[in-house]
Structure 1
Amino acid sequence: MNNHFQQAKQATRNIISINKATIDLVLQSLATALVQNTDFILAENQKDLDKMPTSDPKYDRLQLTKERIAAIAAEVNHVANLDNPLGNIIQDKTLPNNLNIKKVRVPLGVVGVIYEARPNVTVDVFSLCFKTGNVAILKGGSDAAFSNLAITTIIHQVLEKHQIDKNVVTLLPADRSATEALLNAVGDVDVLIPRGSQSLINYVRQNSKIPVIETGAGIVHTFFDASGDLVKGQQIIANAKTRRVSVCNALDCVLIHHGRTNDIAELLSPLAEKQVELYADEISYDELAKNYPKNLLHKAMDEHFGTEFLSLKLAVKVVKDITEALDHIANFSSKHSEAIISEDAENIALFLNQVDAAAVYANVSTAFTDGAQFGLGAEIGISTQKLHARGPMALEELTSYKWLVTGNGQIRS
């Protein structure tokens, strides 16, 4: 295992010498190869799907389709077409002693990523790391072992075609021992990024000897204010909850101003068509019981608030005002994505200012928390911490910087 890490470290000197035009050409070739190998990828993905019950919340994340592969390839092309921040001069100044000092973007180095049943992450991580001159070490979960290996095989074929060291991306074995080795690869791996459940993220943070950038779980709220537009509310809530239930920006809890109690049934009625199970507090339960399907309506327990469902389940709570909504979010948020639906400019400003999250929305679905939707290309994850990166981690977030100092014989007195 240590050999993998040492080869990755050595590859950092190779990748940094690749010019930007070649990087983009390799990514474009990869996009083409992914589409050309769709049948192979789907066959390998099916081997993983056969091991997982369809009721598992991770099934949707694991599943690849022809359309999803085409979308993944399109994102690789998108990354290829984005401006490359590598080498950009952040600051350039000449001091009174004629020392010239430049602050220049450079790769992080060797980036390790531990992730669960999401084979698209294999492509996203490689494309973003390769674009920014980083070497990637991937540790996918056993649930996606066949899928990840198939995709990595295609990446290696493209790299070899362009005579590039295939050690710029390494897929570690799917067993637990590989995770332990990666967590302890001090000196070979520069940064570690976990993508997956809160338990995975907590484990990595607590056990890694390498600096960790957390891409946290998403416990997502939307507050429907007293002035909220009913039609906007219906569309936003339904989209945030049902567009794709297994992703981290999916809605988990709706907070409703008590002044709109009479609108609860209508506000949430589109969810019934999608078979969303509601876990409602006492006030909202009484309103919903009038016409929401009984088999989909349940009384909320304490544990339903602060839960990332990753399925067609949603908590509902009535709050007396925006202050109580803000208090609830502060207590239960994972600091990923939070939204308000309101026509009150003061309340919108208060919400945007006070909510502590990577992405805060006004009258918009939280489904937009995504690197591509933010115009950043594919993302390596949504960082919920505050050091180095926050929100969608794309190209710039995969760089650090160094100082370049040039002179003409100056010495310090």
Structure 2
Amino acid sequence: MSEVLIKAKKAKEISYQLISKTTDEKNKALFAIAHQLLEDEKDILAENAKDLQLGMEKGLDSSVLDRIKLDSQRLKTIHHAVLDLIELNDPIGEKLDVIQKENGLEIIKKRVPLGVIGIIYEARPNVTVDAASLTLKTGNAVILRGSSSAKYSNSVLVKSIQKALRTTTIPPEAVQLIEDTSRETASELFVLKEYLDVLIPRGSKALIDTVVANATVPVLETGAGNCHIFIDESADLVMAKNIVKNAKTQRTSVCNATESLLIHSNWYEKYGTQFIPYLIGEGIQLIVDDEISQAFPELQVATVEDWATEYLAMTLSVKLVQDLSDSIEHINKYGTNHSEAIITKDENNAQIFQTKVDAAAVYHNASTRFTDGFEFGYSAEIGISTQKLHARGPMGLEALSSTKYVINGSGQIRK
């Protein structure tokens, strides 16, 4: 029997035990995990250093290495994120609706765990802890399958989590890691409908597309982030500079960083000669359309592929558009339904943009970098959904629950 099947069977068994765990029991487990991570800091950082060294030897891009990297400060941030979850309301058991029928039946709609969640992800070892803590808070068992680029980090983190759980009433196998990072293990997870209730992919567009195309297990799709900012004709120059700089440079390797900039041609005529050099001066590599290239011939000219590219680096595609409708059409064609923004003083244009742009998060005069579970008040997130079924946008605790109808009667029969 394969590692995947053994652990999937165990997870299913554990999921039935987790259903009855109280909020207090789950919170005590989270508290134990948070403190165990700090106690094991030396071991965790040592194993993470192995991943970083191997990554450098393999020539991994600096943005990928940044996603893999853990240090004392990042570990403390992870620690606090777990503690923050304790303070959040436990959605499990919440009564969403109560219907009293004339025949005396009481019908209660309540939140319940999904059951067993499989998570396939790349690079980021922080996802290991985020996923474990979120699933535990919602009474779900989880099977983690990370990438080879963070295998040592993921392994030591799960060992630390399981060590903490052994001091609580939560079975340590509520959180399990598939140690084998080969493609075969991922493919096996795709089709384990008997044991897995949902699969959540987190990583590159290629990974997500592969899971969506091949999985028979239901998928909660967390899409890639080809995010746009549209600078409208009435936009304030200083605001535009601040927002674009933040959205592109504050952290380039994440899915809510802006990858493409659309500029109203009239705004460009007024401010282009100072705005484009400003972006270059901030260290951003610009890939521009033909019209901007005429004024700045030293810049690389964009291809059609550039409008659809998630760079995850200090690279930004820039295109002039004629009006609001042009910007919306471009975004709906090339965007990934993640996060889009408009900078404008025109409230009517902002409302039209936010209504017609098809994305999980649509901003007016703010950076796309805010699309995040912490910023939205959910504490840690399991991912940012770009689909429209079950959950959309940053997925916190409620997104990891389903519903059940509980019906109480006194002998009623249907006539």
TM-score range, shorter chain: over 0.9
**What is the CA distance between 1:17 and its match in structure 2?**
2.1
Answer yes or no: is 1:210 the counterpart of 2:217: yes
Answer yes or no: is 1:100 the counterpart of 2:106: yes
Residue of structure 2 aligned with 1:353, choices 343, 355, 360: 355
AA matched with 1:284: I
Answer yes or no: is 1:176 the counterpart of 2:183: yes
Q: How far apart, CA to CA, are the structure 1 residues paired with 2:132 and 2:15?
A: 14
Q: How far apart, CA to CA, are the structure 1 residues paired with 2:339 and 2:159?
A: 35
Which shifted more, 195-204 or 173-182? 173-182
Q: How far apart, CA to CA, are the structure 1 residues paired with 2:223 and 2:254?
A: 12
Q: How far apart, CA to CA, are the structure 2 residues paired with 1:273 and 1:150?
A: 41
Residue of structure 1 aligned with 2:274, choices 260, 263, 266: 266
Q: How far apart, CA to CA, are the structure 2 residues paired with 1:274 and 1:54?
A: 24
Structure 1 counterpart SS, 2:135 = helix
**What is the CA distance between 1:268 and its match in structure 2?**
4.3
Structure 2 CA distance for partners of 1:268 and 1:44, relative to 1, 3 Å: farther
Q: How far apart, CA to CA, are the structure 1 residues paired with 2:267 and 2:60?
A: 37
AA matched with 2:355: N
1:316-354 deviation line (CA, Å, top 9, x unaligned): 001111111111101101000000000001100100100
In structure 2, the partner of 1:397 is 399
Q: Check conservation: 2:32, 2:165, Cα contact below 8 A.
A: no
Residue of structure 1 aligned with 2:300, choices 291, 298, 305: 298
Runs (5+) with no aligned partner, structure 1: none
Q: Check conservation: 2:105, 2:408, Cα contact below 8 A.
A: yes
In structure 1, the partner of 2:7 is 4
In structure 2, the partner of 1:411 is 413
AA matched with 1:283: E
1:170-205 deviation line (CA, Å, top 9, x unaligned): 101222221122112121000001111111111111
**What is the CA distance between 1:403 and its match in structure 2?**
0.2
Runs (5+) with no aligned partner, structure 2: none
AA matched with 1:282: D
Q: How does 1:195-274 map to 2 (within 5 A)?
A: 195-262=202-269, 263-274=271-282
Q: Check conservation: 2:28, 2:168, Cα contact below 8 A.
A: no
In structure 1, the partner of 2:133 is 127
Answer yes or no: is 1:30 the counterpart of 2:33: yes
AA matched with 1:315: S
**What is the CA distance between 1:19 and its match in structure 2?**
1.2
Structure 2 counterpart SS, 1:58 = helix
AA matched with 1:272: I
Q: How far apart, CA to CA, are the structure 1 residues paired with 2:383 and 2:77?
A: 17
**What is the CA distance between 1:164 and its match in structure 2?**
2.6
Q: How far apart, CA to CA, are the structure 2 residues paired with 1:108 and 1:265?
A: 54
> Quick one: percent identity of the two aligned structures?
43
1:260-300 deviation line (CA, Å, top 9, x unaligned): 123124334443344211001122234445xxxx5xx3222
**What is the CA distance between 1:56 and its match in structure 2?**
4.4
RMSD (CA atoms): 1.3
In structure 1, the partner of 2:115 is 109
1:49-70 deviation line (CA, Å, top 9, x unaligned): 1122363431111111211111
- The alignment covers a number of residue pairs equal to 407
**What is the CA distance between 1:39 and its match in structure 2?**
2.1
Q: Check conservation: 1:265, 1:288, Cα contact below 8 A.
A: no
1:213-233 deviation line (CA, Å, top 9, x unaligned): 100000000000000011111
Residue of structure 1 aligned with 2:85, choices 64, 79, 96: 79
Q: How far apart, CA to CA, are the structure 1 residues paired with 2:60 and 2:217?
A: 35
Q: How far apart, CA to CA, are the structure 2 residues paired with 1:360 and 1:350?
A: 11
Answer yes or no: is 1:118 the counterpart of 2:118: no
Q: Check conservation: 1:92, 1:101, Cα contact below 8 A.
A: yes
Residue of structure 1 aligned with 2:381, choices 379, 389, 409: 379
Structure 1 counterpart SS, 2:75 = helix
In structure 2, the partner of 1:90 is 96
Q: How far apart, CA to CA, are the structure 1 residues paired with 2:300 and 2:227?
A: 20
In structure 2, the partner of 1:329 is 331
Q: Check conservation: 2:248, 2:259, Cα contact below 8 A.
A: yes
Structure 2 counterpart SS, 1:161 = coil
